[in-house]
Amino acid sequence: MIKYLQNILNKESVSSWFFIMPSVLGSFLFIVLPVFVSFGISFLKWDLLSSPKFVGVDNYIELFSDPIFYTVLLNTLYYAFCVSVLGVILPLILAVILDRKIKGAEIFKTIYFLPFITPMVVVALVWEWIFDPYRGVLNWFLMGAKIEWLYDPNIAMAAIILVSVWKLIGYNMVLFLAGLSGIDANLSEASKIDGASELKNFFYITVPVLSPTIFFVMIITIISSFQVFDLIYLMTQGGPMNSTNVIVYWLYNNAFEYFKVGEASAIAYVLFFIILGLTALQWKIRRKWVLHE
Amino acid sequence: MIFPFLWMIVTSFMTSSQVLSGVINFIPRPFVFENYTAITQAIPVGRYFFNSAFVAVLMTLGQVIISAMAGYAFARMKFKGRDALFFLLLVTMMVPPQVNIIPLFYLIKELNWIDTYQALVVPGLFGGFGVFMMRQWFLGLPQSLEEAARIDGCNYFQTFFKIALPLGLPALATLGIFTFITSWNSFMWPLIVTNSDCMRTMPVGLAIFKGSFRETTQWGQLMACAVIAIIPVVAIFLAGQKYFIKGLMAGSVKE
C-alpha cells in the first residue's frame, strides 16, 4: 500500500495534478462558471426566490430604453475620464520630482502610498467629515464658504473624483517611478548638454520614452474606475438626483435592493464587455511595455 | 496628502462638543479618549476587528499555499494540458468580480453559507494573479537544489515543501501582504453575504455604524473607528513595504 502510494507520488503526471487541482477547480467554480451563469441569468426575470422566467433579450431591450441607463453610463464615463486624466498627470509630475533622489524621497513615497492601502470605508468617512458643509474643515479653509459638496448635484461628482484621485496618486506614482528607473540617464544628460531646459527635457525626453507606461497606467486606471462602487455606496448612494450613480452601484441596487437579478445581470454584461475591450487593449500595450524594458 | 489622516487622528481625540461646535481647532481641547470607550459600548467593534483579522489571515494562508502549489507545478512540472490551463487561469484575471457577484451570491445562499466565515473566505482564495506571480518566481530560481532532492529520493511533494517553498519565501511574503490588505479592505462582498451583527467585518460594521446616526453624526466616534480600522493595514504595509510595492507592479494586470 505504502509502496503504491510512493509510486504515485513519484509520478510527475499524477503529482502535478494534485498541485494544480485546488487552484484550477476553485477558479473554475468561483470565476469561470459564474461568468456563464451570469450571462444566462441576464435572459431571466428572477428575484432569486421564486422560479425564474425566461424572457429572451427583454432585459437588454429594457436596459437600452431606460433613460437612467444613459445617465449612469455617462456618469461612469465622466468619472473614469476625469480620474484617469488627473490620476495620470499628477502622479507623473510627482514621480519625475521624486526621481531626482531628493532628500526624504522615500518618506514621501510612503506618505503618498498610504491612501492606496487605506480601506475605502475609512477614506469615505474621513472625507465626508472634511466635506461636512457646516462643521467641515474644507469649507473652513475656504473662508467659511457654504458649499454643500456631497449634497449639491453639480458638485458631488467632482468631490468623489477628488477623493478617488487622492487615493490613487501613490500607486500610479510608483508605476511611473518604475518606468523612470528604466530610462537611460544618458538621454537626459545629452539633452541637457545641448542646452534643453527642465521643461523641454520633460516633454521631449521623459514623456515620449515613458509613453508606453503612461498608456498602460491610463488604461488600468480607466478599468478600475469603471468598477467604482465602495466610494459611491458610502458617500452619496448615487445621489443627489442620480448625479453620482454609476454602473456597479446601479447593478448592486437592482440586484440586492430591488431583487431584479435578471436586469442586474444584463448591466453586469454591459460592464463586462466594456472591461473586456479595455483589458484587451491593455494586454496589447503591456506586451509593448515589457518589450520596451 | 497626509492631512486627512492627521485630521482623522486629531478628531478622534476631541470631545463631541468640540467636534459639533463648528469651530475648527487643530488641537483637541481637552484631549480625551471618550470616543474610543464610547464605540466599544455602541457597537461590537472588537468582534468586527476579530472577524476582519480572522478572514484576512485564513484568506492569506489559503491563497498563498494554493497559488504556490499551482505556480510551482506550472513552472516546473510537465503534464498534459499545462499551457492551456495556465492560459485559462490568466484569462480569469480579465473578469471583473462584479460580473460574478449575483451567481456567487446564489451559490453561497444555496450552500447555506450566508453569514458564515466560509462565505467570506472561500471565494477569495482563487484566481490567476497569485498563480501567475508564483510561477514567475519559480521560473527565476535555479533548479539544481530540487534536482538534488529528487536524486536523494524525495517525491514531488517532499521536494516542494522542503526545498521549493522555503526558496519561495520572498514571493510568498509579497503575495501574502497583498492578499491580507485586499481582504481587510474588501467591502462589497462582505456587505452582501453577511446579515448579523456578529459576522460583520470592520469595513461593513463601520459603514452601518455611520448609517445609524440620525440627527447628529458623532464624527469623533467614527474617526476613532477609522483609526482602529486602519492600524493593521498600515502596520503590515510599513513592515513589508518593499514586498508590497514590488507585488503591485508585478500584478498590475489585475487592476
Q: How far is B51 from chain A (nearest CA, A)?
A: 15
Which residues 143-162 of chain A have a CB within 8 Å of chain B? none
pLDDT at A101 over 80: no
Query: Which candidate in A20, A116, A127 is best for mutational testing of the B interface (most B CBs within 10 A)?
Result: A20
**Would you say the ipTM is above 0.85?**
yes
Question: With contacts defined as CB-CB under 8 Å, which chain B residues touch A119?
Answer: 184-185, 187, 202-203, 229-230, 233
Q: Give the range among A131-135, A142-146, B51-55, B192-196 with minimum mean pLDDT.
A: A142-146
Residue A291 pLDDT = 45
Architecture category of domain B45-208+229-250 in CATH = Orthogonal Bundle (1.10)
Q: Is A270 helix (H, G, I), strand (E, B) or coil?
A: helix
CA neighbor of A167 nearest in space, from A225, A81, A213, A214:
A225
Q: What is the mean pLDDT of residues B161-184?
A: 90
In chain A, what is the straight-line distance between the N-terminal and C-terminal CA atoms, in Å?
53
Looking up cell 454609476, which residue turns up?
A246
> Tell me: the pLDDT tens digits for A231-287?
999 999 998 999 999 999 999 999 999 999 999 999 999 999 999 998 888 777 766
Q: Nearest-CA residue of chain A relative to B240?
A: A110
Is B11–A129 a contact, with Cβ atoms under 8 angstroms apart? yes
Sequence ranges of the domains in chain A = 2-41, 58-292
Assigned fold of A58-292: MetI-like fold (1.10.3720)
Query: Which candidate in B82, B101, B210 is best for mutational testing of the A interface (most A CBs within 10 A)?
Result: B101
Residue B254 pLDDT = 35
> Tell me: the pLDDT tens digits for A17-67?
899 999 999 999 999 999 999 999 999 999 988 889 999 999 999 999 999
Cα–Cα distance between A4 and A11 in angstroms, integer? 11
Mean pLDDT of chain B: 89
A270 in Cβ contact with A184 (< 8 Å): no
Confidence of residue A293 (pLDDT cuts 50, 70, 90): very low
Q: How would you class B212 by CB atoms within 10 Å of its CB: exposed for 0-12, middle for 13-18, buried for 19 or more?
A: exposed
Here the cell at position B145 is: 537544489
B52 in Cβ contact with B228 (< 8 Å): no
Q: How far is B96 from chain A (nearest CA, A)?
A: 7
Sequence ranges of the domains in chain B = 45-208+229-250
DSSP assignments along B193-214, one per residue? H--SGGG--HHHHHHHHHHT--
